[in-house]
């Protein structure tokens, strides 16, 4: 299995604190030593970092945990391989361009007897996760494309709801084939589908002190933020021990934008 | 204008030395201060680093120049903006997946009155460079796709030659609209098209000492290599002052694989 980490914020925010906790699970406090990756969105552009070595030993992960890259949306993943070799090509998150935007995907779980036929998007590596991503992108492109409607994804919210529904249905279909927890984004929206395990937490004023569960590290967000900041963090398991995380239910989907839930649906 | 750097090698090789020279041109010895990016291929997977700040001041560029990432193929770019704002989304190299491979593109030059209509691949940013990349990918996909032939790009060399020819013709068409120097790769091949300026150099045994033109730095490749290593470096302008670089001619294309030219064509 693997662990997921996502962030959605209303102002460019760094994720050093949460990432510091996550990377400990990549070989120290957790067994997810088969690589890690992170994608930061900045005004539609992306910065990617990835390594097929354990995050706890990775010099690049060290840089990412210390260098405050400010971003509106983040997706990160640490891997414990089950399907697909341990190499760079199988390291999440995966990215593809659709409708003039970069889409990023990370998956926790595994799928059985699942070999979708590529239409437009083709996997480069050999994971079931990337196959599912390409399959989902193909479905979205085939069923929602109508370029004038959703490209560049500036339609009204009715069009968006159609896409969220398609993603929710896709996730529930995958749940019949195994475990499917997923984070997906095109920079503006952080789309979270829970098959088994996904937790989230919104930090807003009044900010307090948070303590990591996986490392001796605490941060006083009051010193790091302004009163208007709203930041949601999503993770497979809670990353802090003194805050109230919300557990998502199997089959549930939540779409976050600017740190707030904007669309959700129970199973 | 911008500067390009590419590498093709028969064994995984680091590019720290050449990149150290190039990054000096991003704000110190050269005016290319509007961002930089680099893509490393490792067994079909990629590592990307990019920043819209000057390379000479970038902590991430510092890491890349010091951390020996071993790779078979590299494409890098430092930018002096002419078309498109200075931001992450306009920072080269650009990447797209085609035929189950990640394709990477960097461009030096500018194009006038050029607004191709997107078919499959759509620009995310606003540069003429990314528009040209998407246009080229669309042409390749439409004219060479025939999945059974070129995906996963394992056809015989006749099929490859058809693709190289298409790219050469595309480059020559772009030359009628402005300046078009280009590096393109899917990990195995480094495809270099010269519109005005592109130089290359192959290092092989017996290896010697190389001295950077842009920084006080020299390296004795004899100590860093084995006698069987073959490494080709391609750059807009020569990066070292004591080696014999070959200048490409306008309209010329050279395709390198494992450090050696495997296909070329004069204008």
Q: How many domains does chain B have?
A: 1
Which residues of A are less than 8 Å from B100 in CB distance?
118, 122-124
Q: Residues of chain B with pLDDT > 90: what percent?
A: 59
- What was the pLDDT predicted at B152? 46
Binning pLDDT at 50, 70 and 90, where does residue A109 land?
very high
Least Cα separation, residue B249 to chain A (angstroms): 34
B118–A95 CB contact, under 8 Å: no
The model's pTM is 0.93
pLDDT of residue A151: 52
Please indicate whether, in this complex, the C-beta atoms of B60 and A63 are within 8 angstroms of each other: yes
CA A235 to chain B, closest CA, distance in angstroms equals 24
Instruction: Convert A156-214 into a string of H (helix), E (strand) and C (coil).
Output: CHHHHHHHHHHHHHHHHHHHCCECCEEEEECCCEEEEEECCCCEEEEECCCCCEEEECC
B89, A44: Cβ pair inside 8 Å?
A: yes
Give the three-class secondary structure for A248: coil
Token output for A11: 């102002």
Hunting for tokens 């060479």 — which residue is that? B144
Give chain B's contact residues with A (Cβ, < 8 Å): 42-52, 59-60, 63, 67, 87-91, 95-97, 99-102, 118, 120-125, 151
**Does A95 sit within 8 Å of B151, measured CB to CB?**
no
- Which chain B residues contact residue A67 at CB under 8 A? 59-60
Question: Two tokens at B100?
Answer: 């189950």
Contact B125 A95 (CB under 8 A): no
Q: Could you give phi then psi for residue A75, rounded to 5 degrees?
A: -130, 130
The rounded distance, in Å, linking the Cα atoms of B80 and A105 is 32
CB A24 within 8 A of CB A30: yes
Q: What is the pLDDT of residue B46?
A: 95
What is the per-residue pLDDT for B148? 42
Q: Residue A6's domain is classified under what CATH number? A: 3.60.20.10
- pLDDT of res. B157: 56
- Order of strands, sheet of B36-42, starting from the edge strand that comes earlier in the sequence: B45-51, B36-42, B71-79, B2-13, B231-235, B199-203, B246-247
Q: Can you tell me the distance from the alpha carbon of A22 to that of A37, in angstroms, rounded to the nearest whole number?
A: 11
Question: What pLDDT does residue A149 have?
Answer: 42
How far is C-alpha B70 from the geometric centre of its chain's CA atoms?
Answer: 16
In whole angstroms, how far apart are CA B100 and each of A3, A5, A102, A124?
A: 26, 26, 17, 5
Q: Is B87 in Cβ contact with A45 (below 8 Å)?
A: yes
Q: How far, in Å, CA of B165 to CA of B170, rounded?
A: 8
The pLDDT score that the predictor gives to residue A146 is 54
SS3 content of chain B, % helix, strand, coil (to 5): 25, 35, 40
Burial pattern B12-45, b for ≥16 Cβ within 10 A else e, equals ebbbbbbbbbbbbbbbbbbebbbbbbbbbbbebb
B167: which 2 tokens? Answer: 């790219």
Best of A121, A122, A187 to disrupt the B interface (most B CBs within 10 Å) is: A122
Q: How confident is the model at residue B153 (pLDDT cuts 50, 70, 90)?
A: low
Active-site annotation holder among B2, B134, B192, B194: B2
Which tens digits make up the pLDDT trace of B73-99? 999 998 887 777 888 999 999 999 998
User: Would you give the distance in Å from CA B101 to the centre of its chain?
Assistant: 16
Burial annotation A100-118 (CB, 10 A radius, 16+ → b, else e): bbbbbbbbbbbbeebeeeb
With CB atoms and an 8 Å threshold, state whether A124 touches B45.
Answer: yes
Nearest CB to A124 within list B100, B120, B121: B100
Name the residue range of residue A209's domain: 2-265
Q: How far is CA B254 from the centre of its chain?
A: 12
pLDDT at B182 over 60: yes
* Averaged pLDDT of chain B: 89
Which of B48, B97, B151 is nearest residue A48 as measured by Cβ atoms?
B48
Decide if pLDDT at B100 tops 60.
Answer: yes
Give residue-wise pLDDT tens across range A186-237.
999 999 999 999 999 999 989 889 888 888 888 888 888 889 999 999 999 9
Is 80 exceeded by the pLDDT of residue A177?
Answer: yes
- Judged by DSSP in three states, B30 sits in coil
């Amino acid at each position: 299995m693997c662990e997921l980490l996502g962030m959605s914020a209303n102002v460019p925010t760094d994720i050093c604190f949460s990432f510091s906790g996550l990377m400990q699970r990549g070989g120290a406090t957790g067994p997810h030593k088969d690589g890690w990756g992170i994608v930061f969105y900045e005004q539609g552009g992306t910065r990617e970092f990835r390594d097929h070595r354990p995050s706890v030993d990775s010099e690049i992960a060290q840089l990412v945990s210390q260098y405050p890259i400010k971003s509106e949306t983040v997706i990160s993943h640490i891997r414990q391989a089950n399907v697909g070799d341990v190499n760079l090509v199988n390291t999440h998150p995966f990215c593809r361009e659709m409708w003039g935007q970069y889409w990023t995907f990370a998956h926790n779980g595994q799928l059985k007897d699942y070999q979708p036929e590529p239409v437009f998007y083709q996997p480069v590596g050999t994971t079931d996760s990337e196959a599912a991503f390409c399959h989902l992108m193909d479905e979205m492109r085939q069923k929602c494309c109508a370029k004038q409607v959703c490209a560049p994804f500036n339609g009204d919210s009715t069009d968006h709801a159609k896409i969220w529904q398609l993603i929710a249905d896709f996730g529930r279909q995958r749940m019949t084939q195994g475990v499917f927890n997923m984070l997906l984004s095109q920079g503006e929206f952080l789309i979270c589908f829970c098959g088994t395990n996904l937790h989230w937490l919104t930090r807003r004023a009044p900010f307090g002190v948070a303590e990591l569960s996986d490392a001796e590290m605490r941060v006083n967000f009051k010193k790091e933020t302004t009163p208007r900041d709203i930041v949601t963090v999503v993770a497979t398991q809670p990353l802090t021990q003194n805050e109230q995380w919300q557990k998502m239910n199997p089959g549930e989907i939540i779409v976050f934008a600017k740190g707030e839930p904007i669309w959700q649906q129970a199973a």
